[in-house]
C-alpha cells in the first residue's frame, strides 16, 4: 500500500484534507465516462497524454478544487462533482501571431444606425503618428 505521506494533490496543494481519485475511465456507465472527461480537462496536456489508466491510478485532487456543494460531511464528493476551483495549471490563451498589432489603432464607436442592428459596434482605424 502506498505511503499516505507521499500522496499529494496534482496541483501541489499543501492540504491535510482528503484526496480524491479520478472517476474510473473503464466504467460502462456513460455518466462516469463523461465525468472522467470533465475531470481530465483540468490536467495539463502532458499529463493527459499519459493516458486514462495512468490518470486513474496516479492523479489525485484535493477538496480545494471542488465547490463546497460537491463535498459531503463524510469528506467524500457527490456523484456529480467536477473540479472547477483553483486550477492553477491552466494554459494561457493562444494569441494568433498572424493578426496585425493593435498598437497605434484607435477604437471608435459607430453610432446605432438602425434599431434592428446591435446597439453599438466597434471598429478600428489607423491613426497617423
Per the model's pLDDT, the better-predicted residue between 66 and 128 turns out to be: 66
Selection from 75, 100, 69 nearest residue 16 by Cα = 75
3-state secondary structure of 48: helix
Contact 20, 7 (CB under 8 A): no
Delimit the domains of the chain by residue range: 4-70
> pLDDT for 45-99, tens place per residue?
999 999 999 999 999 999 899 999 999 999 899 988 999 888 875 443 333 344 4
* pLDDT tier, 23 (very low <50, low <70, confident <90, very high otherwise): very high
Task: Please give the model's pTM, rounded to 2 decimal places.
Answer: 0.60
> Residue 32: is it exposed, middle or buried by C-beta count within 10 angstroms (0-12/13-18/19+)?
middle
Task: Check residue 1 and give its pLDDT.
Answer: 45
Residue whose C-alpha cell reads 467536477 in the numeric block:
82
Amino acid at each position: 500500500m502506498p505511503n499516505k505521506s507521499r500522496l499529494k494533490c496534482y496541483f501541489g496543494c499543501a492540504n491535510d484534507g482528503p484526496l480524491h481519485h479520478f472517476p474510473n475511465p473503464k466504467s460502462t456507465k456513460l455518466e462516469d465516462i463523461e465525468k472522467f472527461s470533465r475531470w481530465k480537462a483540468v490536467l495539463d496536456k502532458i499529463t493527459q497524454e499519459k493516458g486514462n489508466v495512468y490518470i486513474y491510478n496516479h492523479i489525485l485532487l484535493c477538496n480545494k478544487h471542488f465547490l463546497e456543494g460537491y463535498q459531503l460531511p463524510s469528506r467524500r464528493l457527490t456523484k456529480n462533482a467536477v473540479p472547477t476551483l483553483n486550477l492553477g495549471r491552466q494554459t494561457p490563451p493562444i494569441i494568433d501571431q498572424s493578426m496585425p498589432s493593435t498598437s497605434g489603432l484607435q477604437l471608435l464607436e459607430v453610432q446605432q444606425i438602425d434599431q434592428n442592428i446591435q446597439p453599438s459596434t466597434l471598429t478600428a482605424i489607423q491613426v497617423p503618428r
